[in-house]
Structure 1
Amino acid sequence: MAETVPTEKNIDYALLDRCLAAAIACGDIVNLRFLFLPASPFRRDSSEDISMSKYAYLLAEEESDALEAALRLVQQAEISRQVREQLEKKGPPQLPWELLQALADNALRLGKYTAASQAYELLRTRRRMQEIFLDQADAALDRGAYAEGARGYKIAAGLQYDYAAFPEALPAVLNYQEKAVTLHGKYPVVLEGETLSDDRALCRSSLLFLLQGADFIQRLENRDDESLIQFTAEMIRCLDPAWDRFVPAFQEACRLISPFAELFSRINSYTQEALEVLLEEIFSDEEKETLRGISQFFAPGIAEGSAWQLVMRTLAYYHPGAVSFVRRQRLSASEEILIPALPDTSRLAQQLGLFPL
């Protein structure tokens, strides 16, 4: 029987260039790194083939200026040589810094902060990029350009890194859903021992939750109260483009709970243990049913009577800024809901349009 002679795998370098350009143009660090892995269809010793339909995603779906610029970059002679060398060698690849830089900048422009932070981290420039955006944001705040300042802090927060992650350091994702439940973990809610009637304390607590970095808060400590209020309001809107559409629902929830203020005070005067042995319910079945409907204002489509944790996670996902303006409220010893929690005289709440008209 004749011995089969293995044929050498032909690499379509023109197609490789387009795949690299597509990853760079759309800021996709995962695709870029995959192209250099041992299983890459562009490695000679890999059994994978780029013609397989499962790899269609590696190519750009449509032409763009960013794609053309990326293609010109990867086709530069020196970069092309480095790419081919890395695909031929064994062991972890050393990605050309020019490709990483272009990818990081595109990812940042597209709001893909996780990808941008990974690329900048590989370049060892991530922290410096954070400082640049924070310095620019602080300068904007000095000029009273609060929206511009909020965008700068949003980018800086998106570039955070978690060096304690296992098994390797990873971008620090702003996990508002779980953080919100933790923030409201005690009943009644007390934010760091501060009262919600203090606007400065409310701003600080809100920003600490939204940015999830004590370093960011320290940079804002010397701002006067009015500047801090304006900035916090812009930060909330910056992180939630749908905020102004959410406000009417919040106002309606405020109107709904208004007649129940006395009953809330009464039930909150009891301890959990006392409520468990209370002979007479404080809220009637009809009143409970009405109050359960509040969840629809915070999390439309969620089942009425859902646990407050689920409502909180949904609210935090869509409207993270609202987490500072709600609280848990007991209806009985075994049932809680979320209700609006507006300080009577809050400039921040006023700036956000939360008070019912």
Structure 2
Amino acid sequence: MARAAAKEEKNVDMDLTAKAIAKAVADGDIVNFKALFGAISPIRQWTTEMLESEKYSYFRPDAEQEGNQIFKDAHRLVKEMFTWKFITQELEAHRPAQLPSELLLPLADNAIRESRFTSAAQAYELLRIRRKMQTAFFEEADKALAADDIPRAVQGYRVAIGLAYDYAAFPEPLPKVANYQTGALLVHGRYPRSPEDCIAVQPEEAHTNIALGFLLGDDEATARLTEPPLDKRLTFLKELVLRIDPQWDTFVERYKKACSLVTEFAERMSHQSATLADEIEEQQGHNPEEIMETLLGRKIENGVWWQYLKDLAYEHPAGVLFIARQRFGEHEVLMPRLLEGSSVPAKLGLTQDSPTPA
């Protein structure tokens, strides 16, 4: 029997390989960067995968990106003699490839520029300088805050927090990520028995600190912000909310509408002997859920308060700081709740006479 023809040897396009690696560096994409050096990467000699195939188009730069200066700088670093020699040796070796450390720092810097903070955190962690970089960003942010440069201070804090790591993560340490949905359930998990139990009607100082702690999700960052005066922290909070939620103005409109609904019910109740719960049920056909539907901007079919809360926390995280749970007979809904005269909701445009922040 004739022997089978020898398998044709794979030809790896090294110019395209260099461009693919440069793209990952320019994009600040640690995931693609690691994947390119993985065991089944299309740029490894022994795999059957081809970098030219359509399914790997996300690895390849387009013509526009190739003309970008950031990409050109990354490509120059990739093709630097010692770096390129190291890359080719690692790709040819029949073992797990080591990452070229010379490219991790520019990758992390580009990740910061693109607001890909978890990507930057992983790159800095591989270089064993993550904590050092995090401290540096905190210090620069504090300097900006002291100089009343609030936008720069907020950006610095967001970067520093984005570089935080969770060493208890399974199966391996990973960057921390914001989880506002879980946080919202913790904040509203216990039904308020008195006004003191409701986060939305806390005194200005306490409300501001709670809001910063919830939105930052980092104990170190929150502690650093306890020193500035209240008015500066409120300005910081406003900028932070707008950075986290670009659609905050949409929520403000819905929140004011929900407040108007509650006010209308209360005014009708004042002329009758009915309770507010009775009034709401009478006017809405036993559907007090309309209030939280207004807050969220849509209806969740057969949804209960905690489902609305989770969706609200995902779409408008700061919104959960200005609501409370309220029972109406067999119903339990989320309602807008404000402390009269407080500067916190006013700063964020949530009071009827306050302008929408921009």
TM-score range, shorter chain: 0.7 to 0.9
User: Secondary structure at 1:337's aligned position in 2?
Assistant: strand
Structure 1, 254-263 or 5-14: larger mean CA deviation:
254-263
1:342 alignment counterpart: 338
Distance 1:191 1:147, change over 3 A: farther
User: Secondary structure at 1:168's aligned position in 2?
Assistant: coil
User: Secondary structure at 2:123's aligned position in 1?
Assistant: helix
Offset at 1:290? 6.0
For residues 160-239 of structure 1, the aligned pairs below 5 Å read: 160-188=164-192, 196-239=201-244
Offset at 1:240? 1.4
Aligned AA (1:28): D
Distance 1:192 1:341, change over 3 A: closer
User: Secondary structure at 2:335's aligned position in 1?
Assistant: strand
Distance 1:192 1:19, change over 3 A: farther
User: Secondary structure at 1:294's aligned position in 2?
Assistant: helix
- Measured in 2, the distance between the counterparts of 1:306 and 1:167 equals 34
Offset at 1:184? 0.8
2:356 alignment counterpart: none
Q: Does 1:331 align with 2:328?
A: yes
1:135 alignment counterpart: 139
Aligned AA (1:230): T
1:256 alignment counterpart: 261
- Measured in 1, the distance between the counterparts of 2:333 and 2:159 equals 34
C-alpha contact (below 8 Å) 1:197/1:346 kept by paired residues: no
Structure 1, 70-79 or 286-295: larger mean CA deviation:
286-295
- Measured in 2, the distance between the counterparts of 1:190 and 1:8 equals 75
- Measured in 2, the distance between the counterparts of 1:190 and 1:238 equals 33
C-alpha contact (below 8 Å) 1:296/1:304 kept by paired residues: no
Q: Deviations over 1:99-123 (max 9, x none)?
A: 1111111111111112111111111
User: Secondary structure at 1:94's aligned position in 2?
Assistant: coil
Aligned AA (2:310): R
Task: Count residues in correspondence.
Answer: 343
Aligned AA (1:170): L
Aligned AA (1:253): A
1:321 alignment counterpart: 318
Among 112, 137, 144, the alignment partner of 1:108 is 112
Q: Does 1:148 align with 2:152?
A: yes
Structure 1, 158-167 or 41-50: larger mean CA deviation:
41-50
Q: Does 1:307 align with 2:304?
A: yes
| TM-score between both structures, scaled by the size of structure 1 | 0.88
- Measured in 2, the distance between the counterparts of 1:91 and 1:175 equals 37
Aligned AA (2:341): T
Offset at 1:156? 1.5
C-alpha contact (below 8 Å) 1:325/1:341 kept by paired residues: yes
Aligned AA (1:77): M
Offset at 1:138? 0.9
| TM-score between both structures, scaled by the size of structure 2 | 0.88
Q: Does 1:20 align with 2:21?
A: yes
- Measured in 2, the distance between the counterparts of 1:103 and 1:191 equals 49
C-alpha contact (below 8 Å) 2:300/2:308 kept by paired residues: no
Offset at 1:166? 0.5
Identity of paired residues, percent?
A: 37
User: Secondary structure at 1:18's aligned position in 2?
Assistant: helix
C-alpha contact (below 8 Å) 1:161/1:171 kept by paired residues: yes
Distance 1:163 1:80, change over 3 A: same
Q: Deviations over 1:4-34 (max 9, x none)?
A: 3344332211010111111112122111111
Aligned AA (1:129): M
Among 200, 225, 249, the alignment partner of 1:244 is 249
Distance 1:300 1:192, change over 3 A: same
C-alpha contact (below 8 Å) 1:194/1:201 kept by paired residues: no
User: Secondary structure at 2:288's aligned position in 1?
Assistant: helix
Distance 1:288 1:228, change over 3 A: farther
- Measured in 1, the distance between the counterparts of 2:340 and 2:254 equals 19
Structure 1, 58-67 or 137-146: larger mean CA deviation:
58-67
Aligned AA (1:149): A
Q: Does 1:356 align with 2:356?
A: no
User: Secondary structure at 2:50's aligned position in 1?
Assistant: coil
- Gaps in structure 2 of 5+ consecutive residues: 354-358
Offset at 1:91? 3.5
